[in-house]
């Protein structure tokens, strides 16, 4: 049974290295790689690398054939719904001269609007695939043209088909879609705070109280308060810092052993690899009660998710695990009999 990964803002990821970036000057790159990308695309890539059957649904565009060609070259199951806009290119510039590790600058292009026919086609494709799906992932922003509340509509369709949903959204899209009772919401703490806590806490992912190594009691209490209001499990990443797990008012702090600075090459796609690893471990463990997914189940899966994220961070390209990376062990015969992976 495949996992459906929905990407409403796909495109090309150009990953370039340079010794040192000098603003205002001519800069000569030392290497360039171009890949199909977007959060949902990256999730699908990692799932397939881990041995999970998965496909990614996204919109095409006037340059969609180029994206499909890249996907085919790596064996990525990418299915594009026709649209007339041009797919964007985002660029990661990785500077290698830093004494304490590499510095990455990300340049993000805006997404082109999609046609109404593309919106209809996406809904029809999701509806056709849901009856045979093990899970559905909705990750990333949505391009203009997708209506307000569209991720919530897709999540509701999955809910009606008894397919567990994993969300990596923020802002109004997450506030709307969470009503469909997703199995897991995986975002970073700063996105969580901006979505649910308004301006209660200053800073963001890299500065202020949200970025401190030790999470304050006020933040933990606020996370617990939000989790009581929603029938889902929250997994809140914090870069190289600890991870927060929350459900029904209970919060756990999961320490993370960060990569050494010289090991980290490019963090782009690491969060997507984390989500794919988390879902993979839960499927392999044979979780069946998605509506009451326990923090113990999630905490076990987080170990593998961290390994996936860190493997991607050691790579230049988004969502690419190292060749030496070992997939999660398959379940015993007893667990396999219960697993969604083993159902007809």
Average pLDDT per 10 consecutive residues for the chain, totaling 344 residues: 95 97 96 97 97 97 97 97 96 89 93 97 98 96 97 98 97 97 96 91 75 90 96 93 95 92 92 97 85 88 95 95 82 48 37
- pLDDT at 93 (0 to 100): 97
Segment (H or E) for 254: strand 250-254
3-class secondary structure, 281: helix
- pLDDT at 331 (0 to 100): 58
Q: Are 119 and 146 in contact (CB under 8 A)?
A: yes
Long-range contacts of 167-175 (CB under 8 A, 24+ apart): 167/137, 167/138, 167/139, 168/39, 168/43, 168/137, 168/138, 168/139, 168/140, 168/271, 168/272, 168/275, 169/138, 169/139, 169/140, 170/194, 170/195, 171/195, 172/148, 173/141, 173/142, 173/149
- pLDDT at 344 (0 to 100): 31
- pLDDT at 333 (0 to 100): 44
- pLDDT at 209 (0 to 100): 82
- pLDDT at 330 (0 to 100): 66
Fold category of 3-23+33-342 in CATH: 3.40.1190
Task: Report the C-alpha gap between 260 and 100 in whole angstroms.
Answer: 9
- pLDDT at 80 (0 to 100): 98
Question: Cα–Cα–Cα angle for 18, 46, 261, nearest 5°?
Answer: 40
Task: Report the C-alpha gap between 214 and 216 in whole angstroms.
Answer: 6
Record the pTM. Answer: 0.92
């Amino acid at each position: 049974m495949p996992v459906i990964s929905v990407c409403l803002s796909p495109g090309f990821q150009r990953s370039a290295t340079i010794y040192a970036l000098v603003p205002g000057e001519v800069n000569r790159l030392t290497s360039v790689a171009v890949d199909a990308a977007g959060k949902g695309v990256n999730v699908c890539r990692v799932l397939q690398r881990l041995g999970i059957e998965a496909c990614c649904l996204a919109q095409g565009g006037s340059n969609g054939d180029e994206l499909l060609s890249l996907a085919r070259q790596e064996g990525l199951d990418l299915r594009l719904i026709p649209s007339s806009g041009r797919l964007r290119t985002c660029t990661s510039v990785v500077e290698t001269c830093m004494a304490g590790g590499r510095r990455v600058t990300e340049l993000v292009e805006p997404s082109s609007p999609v046609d109404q026919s593309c919106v209809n086609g996406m809904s029809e494709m999701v509806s056709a695939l849901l009856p045979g799906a093990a899970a559905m992932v909705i990750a990333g922003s949505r391009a203009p043209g997708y209506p307000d509340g569209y991720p919530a509509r897709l999540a509701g369709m999955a809910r009606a088909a008894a397919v567990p949903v994993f969300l990596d959204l923020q802002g109004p899209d997450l506030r709307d879609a969470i009503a469909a009772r997703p199995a897991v919401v995986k975002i970073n703490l700063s996105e969580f705070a901006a979505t649910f806590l308004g301006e209660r806490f200053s800073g963001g992912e890299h500065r202020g109280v949200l970025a401190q190594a030790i999470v304050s009691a006020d933040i933990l209490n606020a996370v617990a308060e939000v989790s009581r209001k929603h029938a889902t499990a929250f997994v809140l990443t914090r870069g190289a810092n600890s991870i927060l797990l929350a459900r029904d008012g209970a919060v756990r702090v999961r320490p993370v052993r960060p990569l050494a600075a010289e090991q980290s090459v490019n963090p782009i796609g690491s969060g997507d690899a984390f989500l794919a690893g988390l879902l993979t471990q839960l499927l392999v463990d044979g979780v069946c009660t998605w509506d009451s997914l326990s923090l113990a189940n999630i905490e076990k899966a987080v170990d593998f998710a961290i390994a996936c994220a860190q493997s991607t961070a050691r790579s230049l390209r988004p969502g690419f695990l190292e060749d030496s990376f070992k997939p999660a062990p398959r379940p015993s015969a007893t667990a396999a009999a219960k697993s969604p992976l083993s159902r007809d």
